[in-house]
Structure 1
Amino acid sequence: MNLDLTADELAFRDEVRAFLEEALTPELREAGRRATSVFMDRRFSLPWQKILHARGWAAPSWPRAYGGPGWSEMQRHVFAAECARAGAPSLAPMGLRMVGPVIMGYGTPEQKAHYLPRILSGEDYWCQGYSEPGAGSDLASLQLRAVRDGDDYVLSGSKLWTTHAHWANRMFCLVRTQTGGKPQAGVTFLLLDMHSPGIRVRPIITLAGEHEVNEVFFEDVRAPVSGRLGEENQGWTVAKHLLEFERGGGSAPGLKVMLGRVRSAAQSAGLLAQPAFRARLMDTEIAVQAIEMSEQRILAALSAGTNPGPASSMLKTQGGEAMQRIDELLLEVAGVHGGVDQPDAREPGSDVPPIGPEAVLTAMPRYLNDRAASIYGGSNEIQRDIIARLVLGL
C-alpha cells in the first residue's frame, strides 16, 4: 500500500488548500474551531455548504452523474484532510453522506431527480428517524406503526434522540408495516415531510446544556407511499446500506488536528513535562495512527469498487473511542477551567472573554457530547459483535 501522493494528487491538494484559504471566512473558521459536537450548527454548516456547492464540492463522494465532483477515493481523503487542517466547519451528514447515497442506490428516477439536487443545495435539511424508546441499538425492535390507507401510510408512534429534528424539513424514517415473524422483515424505509400535520418535536437538552437532539411524535401522520424507498417490508436492507455510510471512515484527519491542539495546549500548560500525561498522549497518538492505517487499507479496497461493508464497524468503534480519549486529555489540560460553563464565550463572533485559555474553552461540552459516540450509529458492543461475526468469522 503506497501512501505517497502522486504528482496529480499533490496538485489537487494545492488546489484545495488555495480554495480553502480564500473561501473560509474568519467566522466559519471560528465556528469550526469552537464546535462542540460532530453536528455543526446549521447557521454555519449551510453557508459553508452553499460555498462548496457553488464550486461543485459539497458532496465529495457523489458521482458526477448526480452532481458530485466524481473524485477518486484518494482525492476525497485529501479533501477531508485539508478541510480538517484548515478548520472548516463540518457539513450536516444526514443528507449528503447518509440518505443521499441510499437514494442513489434504491430510489426511483423520480425520487433521485427530486431529492438529490435539493440535498446538494441545502434546500432540504434532513434528520434521521431510527431510534425509539426501547429500540436504539436493537433497532429491529422499533414500533412506529405505518398502516397503509390508499396512497398513504398513517403513522403512529415516536422517535427518540433525533438530531436536528427542530431544524429539519425532511426525515428519512424506519417504520413498522408488518408484525409477526422476524422483526427485521416488517420494516419499511420512508422519506417524510417534517411539516406534515400530526408531527410534534420536543427538545432534549443535553448534559452540555445544548439543544441538539429531540423526541419526535407522530399522531396519525399521513405519509405518501411515493416517499417509500425500496419495497414495503424491505426497509431493513436499505437501512443496513445506509449504516455503512454512517459508520464509515474518514475520521483520522480530524482526530489528528484535535490531537495537535491538545499537544499545543498541554505544552502551554506545562503538562508535557509530566511523564504520565505524556505517555497517555503518545498512546492516543498511536491509536490515531492505527486508525489512519486502517482507513488507508479500506481506501484501497474502495478504490477497487467495494463498499465499506462490516469493516466500517471497526472504524466507527475505533474513531469514537479515540475521540473520547482526546476529549479526556483536553479536559485534563483544562483543569479547573474545564468546569466553568461559558456558552456565551463559546458562541462564534462573541465578544465575551473566556475564563481560562481559549484552547480549552470547549473542552467540557465536547467531552460531554462525545460520550454518545460509543452509542450513536449502533453501540460499540453491537459493532464488536458485527466485527466478530463478519470480519473475524467467529
Structure 2
Amino acid sequence: MQFKYDEDVEAFRQEVRQFIKDELPPEEIRLQRGYEGGFDTYEEEYDYTMGFQKKLAAKDWLAMAWPKEYGGGGASHMRQLVYNEEMAYHSAPVGNMGIAWVGPSLMLYGTDEQKEKFIPRITQADDWWCTLYSEPGAGSDLASLQTRATRDGDDYVINGQKIWTSGGHLADWGWLAARTDPDAPKHKGITMFMLDMKSPGVTVRPLINMSDRHGFNEVFFEDVRVPASQVVGEENRGWYHMAVALDFERSGIGAYAGGRRNVERLAKLAKDNPQLIERRPSVKHELADRSVELEVGTLLAYRVATMQAKGLVPNHEASAAKMFGSEMGQRIQLTGMHLLGTAGQLRNGSHGQIADIATNYLSSVSGTIAAGTSEIQRGIIATRGLGLPRG
C-alpha cells in the first residue's frame, strides 16, 4: 500500500530533510551519538542536543505540535508524522520532556505566573527537563510511589528516591511526582512539582547499563525545599494531571523509521562484505523478514496517525503500534548479531570491528519495557481491542 501526502506535507518533508542535512554532523558521527552515549563529556552531550533543539526552535519546529496560543506551531497530525519520521530516520536528538510532558500540563493546569515563566523557556530549548516518576518499588504500578512532599510554610520538603531517570545528569529541571497525603488512597495523594535539579539535597547517581552507556540515573532527595509556587495543579490530584494527553501525534512512527535505517545499514554491510552471507546464508531471510515487518509496522503507525487526523482517539491501535515496534527493534538488532557472528561482540575501537552492533543489541532490550511494557500493551489489546475479560 502506498500513501500519498498532500503537496504541502510532502514539501515539508523535503524541507525537513534539507534542514537535517545542513544542521546535523555526518552520519558516521551521528551513529556514535544518540541519547545514550558517544560523547566524551556530559557537557558535549548537552551542547550537542540543546544546540540542535535551539535550531529547531528558531524554525518554530520544536513545539510544532503545541497550540499556537502557547508559542507552538499548531501543526496537523500528518505534518507531525512526517517530522517525527524524518528525525527518527536520521537519529536526530529531538527527545524533549519539557515539550512532551511539562508544557502540556502547564497549559491545562498551570497558573498564569507558571505559564509566563516556564513555557517560553521550554519552546526555546533553554532548559533540559527530566521526569521524576519511577521508584524502586513503583514502576509499572506508578501510583505506589513513596517519595514524600511535606508542607512547611511556603515550601514543600521532599524526601525519597527516583530511579530510571532519563537524562537526570543533564537536566536543569525535574518534573516530579511526590506523595503529599500518605493516608489517602494511592491514586489520590500525589502532587506534581517543578523541581530545580540544582537544589540543595538533590543527588544524581549514574546507572550504567549493560552496553556500558549512561542514559539513566537514580535521584535522591534529602530535605529538598521546593516553593509552593512550583506546585502544578491541585494538591493530591497529581495522578490525574500526570495522565494529561494533548492531541499530539503518537503513532510510534519513530520506531519504524529508525528501524528502516538500521535494516538498510545491515543490508549494505552484507553487500559490502559478502563473506558474511556466505558464512550464514539464512541471514538473507532474516533481513527479508525484518523488511516485511517494517512495512507492517509502518501501516500500524500510519493507522494511528490517520485516526488522529480524523479526530478519533486511538486506544488499542496505539498499543499495537508500540508493542510491534519495540519487539521488532529487538529482532532487527538480533539479526545484526547473526550477520556478524562472533565479530558482533566487538565494540567501537576494537581491531577488526566493522559495525557497533553489540551496543545496539544490548540497548534494544529495554524497548519492550520503557513507555509501557509489551505485557501491558497486550493486555490493552486483549481487553479494549478484543473485548476479552480482565484477569
TM-score range, shorter chain: 0.7 to 0.9
Q: 2:76 aligns with which of 72, 79, 88?
A: 72
Equivalence map 1:182-193=2 (5 Å): 182-193=185-196
Q: 2:378 aligns with which of 360, 377, 384?
A: 384
Shift in Å, 1:71: 1.9
Shift in Å, 1:272: 5.0
Amino acid paired to 1:374? T
**Contact persistence 1:127–1:170 (CA under 8 A):** yes
Equivalence map 1:169-318=2 (5 Å): 169-180=172-183, 182-241=185-244, 249-251=252-254, 252-270=256-274, 271=276, 274-309=280-315, 311-318=317-324
For 2:223 and 2:249, the matched residues in 1 are separated by 29
Q: 1:146 aligns with which of 146, 149, 153?
A: 149
Q: Which structure exhibits the higher relative contact order, with contacts defined as CA atoms closer than 8 Å and separated by 6 or more residues?
A: 1
TM-score, length basis structure 1 = 0.87
Amino acid paired to 1:7? E
For 2:219 and 2:194, the matched residues in 1 are separated by 15
Shift in Å, 1:127: 0.9
* CA shift digits 1:125-181 (9 cap, x unpaired): 111111111111121211101112232221111001111111111011111122345
Q: 1:109 aligns with which of 109, 112, 118?
A: 112
Shift in Å, 1:191: 1.4
**Contact persistence 1:287–1:322 (CA under 8 A):** yes
For 2:296 and 2:271, the matched residues in 1 are separated by 24
Unaligned runs of 5+ in 2: 39-44
SS at match of 2:302: helix
1:327–1:228 Cα change, 3 Å: same
The number of residues matched between the two structures is 379
Amino acid paired to 1:35? R
TM-score, length basis structure 2 = 0.87
Unaligned runs of 5+ in 1: 346-353
**Contact persistence 1:126–1:168 (CA under 8 A):** yes
For 2:112 and 2:320, the matched residues in 1 are separated by 34
Alignment of 1:356 with 2:343, yes or no, is no
Shift in Å, 1:218: 0.7
Q: 1:159 aligns with which of 162, 179, 183?
A: 162
Amino acid paired to 1:355? H
* Structural RMSD (CA): 2.7
Aligned to 1:42: 46
1:140–1:264 Cα change, 3 Å: same
For 2:15 and 2:144, the matched residues in 1 are separated by 48
Aligned to 1:60: 64
For 1:310 and 1:181, the matched residues in 2 are separated by 31
Aligned to 2:15: 15
1:176–1:314 Cα change, 3 Å: farther
